[in-house]
Amino acid sequence: MADEPVVETTGLEKSYGRVKVLAGVDLRVARGSVFALLGPNGAGKTTTVRILSTLVRPDAGRARVAGFDTVRDRREVRRRISLTGQYAALDEQQTGEENLRMMGRLYGLTRRRARERAGELLERFDLAGAARRRAGTYSGGMRRRLDIAAGLVGDPEVVLLDEPTTGLDPRSRQTMWELVADLAAAGTTVLLTTQYLEEADRLAGRIALLDAGRVVADGTAADLKRRVAGRRLDLTLADAAAYGRTAELLGGRAVHRQPDRLLLGVPTDGSASHVRSLLEEIDPERDAVARFTVHEATLDDVFLALTGRAAASADRREPAGA
């Protein structure tokens, strides 16, 4: 069934020393879907992925992947997943083909089947022309594609991608997005972490927004945007003094702030009456607002509105390598 959870966590907690990285994370990922964990640095995204991939044990709570407990059934979980971290894990001295054949042998494939599987994946990821080149000579985008291909040698049920497009140029990022979409279309479940709002909006059928180790919002991109505002009224103020006064007046109602552009954004339903009412409240003398625009709310609005405190707090950052 399409809505059957293939990844499920309940009350996950994890601390490193005095830093509590996860403070009760609940997730449900449907089979064959793309699910995004979105959040600022230190929100707990990588730690969640490491628990799901059996690399880290939670202090409390439970995680299940493909029906198996990540602590009690580690071996069964590992047989059913693929993990691609932020940096490609390849043998740079081996060719692309040799890397994939080696992975095939590690998965228990015969030499013949490992060679066949390597050829299939090189074609699928548009790497056949570079199959006999050393991986160390590959571009960043090619290395990421080869890294994901290596994780698919064993035909996993669940693919865990931890910030898969970090450091890639726009063209390579676009290629990665197409590959992720293809994986989901073929029935593979993909759970990815990202800080790129466009990436989550583009790929994920469902998004969980993490803040300080907790899920503060969960739903489709459209659901999350409606939670903040269906639309946003952007105000460009006349000068710095007007910006300061208006920012103080709006307080937490301002879901978007760009001081360098003298711009503030507030939620609106987009109707003429509501926009007029907001303008009369904010600028009764009609000398503070230079211009205004109304547009659809974005994930940027959701991100800033729901994770602002955590993003600004240095004390809540996820420990390096955690």
Tell how far CA 199 is from the center of its chain. Answer: 7
Q: What is the mean pLDDT of the chain?
A: 87
Cα–Cα distance for residue pair 162/159, rounded to 1 Å: 10
Q: What percent of the chain has pLDDT over 90?
A: 57
Overall size of the chain counted in residues: 322
Over residues 97-129, the pLDDT tens digits come to 999 999 999 888 999 999 999 999 999 888 999
pLDDT of the residue at 193: 92
pLDDT of the residue at 204: 94
Over residues 172-198, the pLDDT tens digits come to 888 888 888 888 888 899 999 988 888
| Domains assigned to the chain | 5-220 (3.40.50.300), 229-296 (3.30.70)
Q: What percent of the chain has pLDDT over 70?
A: 93
Cα–Cα distance for residue pair 269/229, rounded to 1 Å: 7
pLDDT of the residue at 320: 47
